[in-house]
């Protein structure tokens, strides 16, 4: 179902400190305050922002418990400003499992982790994390907001599954290494165009651990055009309106998602 009213969203980026949840929460609160001051209802933060994108912060003992008191300042701000914060962290699960998760702080201050990254990228992520086994969609003010994390958005099927389930926007915390700007910008614009939906990308920037990150936070419209985008600025917040009428218009004009085949059938091989 298409929502009936516009939604103001923000994507924010800054440097994350590996293993220092309290410092990263303080930065997240600053970014959240800036987003709320600009009228945002939903804020997306980068991949692993709360714990840092560095393997030293991912082991089971150093990963995040969802009831960690260090999260309370962000929960309090979300309550005060009626803001939904889509963050990310290495999350401690049962049986020594650690997941690379979306950490959701809703507008009542409740903290949950509704989605775990399904497509783990590279040896480090695959060594430390347990991949997710399900998709997830947030419902905010009538908007169905599909969730992905970074490498998930490289796979057309991931956003397509969210759109098929009714998502009219796709939210992606991300952390692209410096120098990957072309691929980053192409992937998320394509996911918007593939499905006729908005895409909100929050990219980690600055240096975390021993790696540099390229930022690139953006909001893409349903035709894949950047409505708002920044480079490697640190910190930065981009804010845009999601317009339900634009989703309807684009999906009627360019019905790729509706015309997508469930199967390509068998393949005929023709030796010549």
Task: Give how many domains the chain has, as a whole number.
Answer: 1
Q: How many CA atoms lie within 13 A of 163 on its CB side?
A: 27
Give residue 59's pLDDT band: very low, low, confident or very high (50, 70, 90).
confident
Distance of CA 105 to the CA centre of its chain: 13
The CA distance from 143 to 38, in Å, is 19
User: Is residue 126 a part of any domain in this protein?
Assistant: yes
Domain annotation covers residue 272: no
Quote the pLDDT of residue 254: 92
Residue 47 lies in a domain: yes
119 domain residue, yes or no: yes
267 in a domain, yes or no?
Answer: no
pTM assigned to the model: 0.96
Domain holding 255: CATH number? 3.60.110.10
For the segment 79-99, the average pLDDT, to the nearest whole number, is 94
Look at residues 33, 47, 90, 43 and name the one whose alpha carbon lies nearest to residue 214.
47
Chain segment 147-168, per-residue pLDDT in tens: 999 999 999 999 999 999 999 9
Is pLDDT above 90 for 95? Answer: no
Position 215 in a domain: yes
pLDDT per residue over 191-209, tens digit each? Answer: 999 999 999 999 999 999 9
In a domain, 81, yes or no: yes
In this structure, are residues 121 and 151 in contact, taking their beta carbons and an 8 Å threshold? yes
Does 264 map to a domain? no
CA dist., res. 31 & res. 231, Å (int): 16
Residue count of the chain = 272
Q: Which residue in the block uniquely carries the two structure tokens 């360019």?
A: 254
Query: Token pair 């393997």 is at which residue?
Result: 55
DSSP 3-state assignment of 110?
coil
Task: Kindly report the average pLDDT of the chain as a whole number.
Answer: 96
The domain of 218 spans: 7-259
């Amino acid at each position: 179902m298409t929502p009936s009213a516009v939604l103001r969203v923000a994507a924010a980026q800054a440097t994350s400190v590996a293993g220092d949840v309290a410092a990263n929460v303080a930065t997240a609160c600053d970014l959240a305050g800036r987003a709320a001051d600009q009228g945002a209802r939903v804020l997306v933060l980068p991949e692993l922002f709360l714990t840092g994108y560095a393997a030293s912060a991912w082991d089971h003992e150093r990963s995040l418990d969802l009831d960690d008191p260090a999260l309370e300042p962000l929960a309090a701000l979300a309550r005060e400003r009626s803001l939904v914060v889509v963050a990310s962290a290495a999350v401690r699960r049962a049986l020594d499992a650690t997941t690379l998760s979306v950490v959701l702080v809703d507008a009542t201050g409740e903290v949950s982790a509704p989605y775990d990254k399904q497509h783990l990228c590279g040896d480090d992520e695959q060594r430390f994390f347990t991949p997710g086994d399900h998709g997830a969609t947030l419902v905010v003010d009538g908007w169905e907001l599909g969730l992905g994390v970074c490498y998930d958005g490289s796979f057309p099927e991931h956003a397509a599954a969210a759109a098929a389930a009714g998502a009219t926007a796709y939210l992606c915390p991300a952390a692209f290494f410096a120098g990957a700007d072309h691929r980053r910008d192409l992937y998320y614009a394509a996911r918007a165009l593939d499905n006729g939906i908005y895409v909100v990308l929050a990219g980690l920037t600055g240096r975390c651990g021993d790696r540099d990150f390229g930022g690139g936070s953006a909001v893409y419209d349903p035709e894949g055009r950047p409505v708002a985008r920044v480079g490697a600025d640190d910190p930065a917040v981009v804010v845009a309106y999601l317009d339900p009428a634009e989703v309807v218009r684009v999906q009627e004009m360019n019905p790729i998602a509706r015309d997508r085949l469930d199967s390509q059938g068998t393949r005929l091989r023709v030796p010549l």
